[in-house]
Amino acid sequence: VSSGVPAVSALLRCPPPVGLPSQGATPAGSEAAGEQAQEEEAEDRLKEHMDNLLDKSAKTRLAALQSLRLAFSSRTLSEFLLARRLTLTDSLEKCLKKGKGEEQALAGTVLTLLCLQMGSGPEGEEVFRSMKPLLVSILTDSMASPGARQSCATALGMCCYIAAADLEDLVSCLSCLESVFSPPSTSEGGSAPSQHGPLHCSALQSWSLLLTICPHTHIKSILDNGWLRLPPLLTSSSVALRILAGETIALVFELAQDMEEDLCHQDTSILCAQLKVLATESNKYRAKTDRRKQRSIFRDILHFIESGEYQDDTIRFGLECMYLDSWACQRTYQAFKEVLGSGICHHLQNNELLREIFGLGPPLVLDAATLKASKVSRLEKHLYNSAAFKARTKARSRVRDKRADVL
């Protein structure tokens, strides 16, 4: 079964070895030798890209960062990177310090992926500790590129989630991210500015991700009054931020439920009324797709706050699947999906860190016969899609006929 991960780029793809296998070599042996040769050439390409991070040409550095981002998101390379992490970290630090907007943004993304490859052990913690001051500096610099600040917000949240060992690091990252999406003037429940961008979304997403690993003592202070900074964000002009704010509010209520804390507040009824408006909004000045997505998600949020029931979701990858049965689990999955893109399926199957986070156990070891038996032929896919299209067309036709009768 295809994992849904795109093929690795031409920069990492190698042609089969030239020439025929020698007489007496078994097909299995020649195939293994070919795979080893491809792997070695791919590693040479990676080394070349890492060397190019220090090139004088900005164009060369950008191309190297893009290639590394693709490689790290689509493959598991922890063993290869283990001995090179310090050199790579130093190179990424130079890109963040001396590069311009796009280069800084890409360097932040590659740094996040490097930490994800290193995992939660001492190596990952070392990467996070060494880069945290620079990430905070760029994130809080109002003169820095918005794209660079957004990438640093994601990197700070993800690296802290993966590798932070001290509560002090966790609390300081939460405070830094909070200052971005909720300035002091709005932290006590005042009105938030209506104009927001991707930076605020990334900061809020990282903040809510870190909430899922906060100890109960810190969660308690947020439940007491800290969560009241979130409702003003529901009036933002950005549909993405409105949805993120709503999901974070649901997450806070879920955490209160888990701690058996009563989150009833004089503003809770006002909040529910606000959520009902967002769940039924039909303002024409908002895009149709935005309205549909907003209504669907806010219906689930409102249902959870009123009843405490979460709508489960199923994620399938390869021959496996996992269930998202809470807002905390959903937030964690969305954060990793945001960073890995289509590579999320490969990493769910093979990355030990992700499998540990989501409780999937050790990676499955499947033999060639099992993989072959599980594959669906192109003809079977075509027949299935044709039947589904035909059934969908019939169902829609019946609905359209009824609408015509009403009109």
Widest CA span of the chain, in angstroms? Answer: 83
d(CA 299, CA 145): 36
Instruction: Supply the pLDDT for residue 102.
Output: 93
> What letter represents residue 97's amino acid?
K
Q: Residues 42-66: pLDDT tens digits? A: 889 999 999 999 999 999 999 999 9
Instruction: Supply the pLDDT for residue 348.
Output: 94
Could you tell me what percent of the chain has a pLDDT over 90?
A: 48
Instruction: Supply the pLDDT for residue 17.
Output: 45
Tens of pLDDT along the chain (407 residues) come to 334 444 433 333 444 444 444 454 555 567 667 778 888 888 899 999 999 999 999 999 999 999 999 999 999 999 999 989 999 999 999 999 988 899 999 999 999 999 999 998 899 999 999 999 999 999 999 999 999 999 999 999 999 999 998 899 999 999 999 999 886 554 444 444 445 689 999 999 999 999 999 988 888 888 776 677 888 898 888 889 999 999 999 999 898 888 877 665 556 777 888 888 888 876 665 667 777 888 889 999 998 988 888 888 999 988 899 999 999 999 999 999 999 999 999 999 999 999 999 999 888 876 555 555 555 567 766 676 777 777 777 766 655 554 444 44
Instruction: Supply the pLDDT for residue 58.
Output: 93
Compute the radius of gyration of the chain from its Cα atoms: 24
Give yes or no for a contact between 246 and 298, defined as CB atoms under 8 angstroms apart: yes
Instruction: Supply the pLDDT for residue 14.
Output: 43
Between the alpha carbon of residue 67 and those of residues 9, 74, 230, the distances in Å are: 8, 11, 38
Residue found under tokens 């072959």: 372
Instruction: Supply the pLDDT for residue 5.
Output: 40
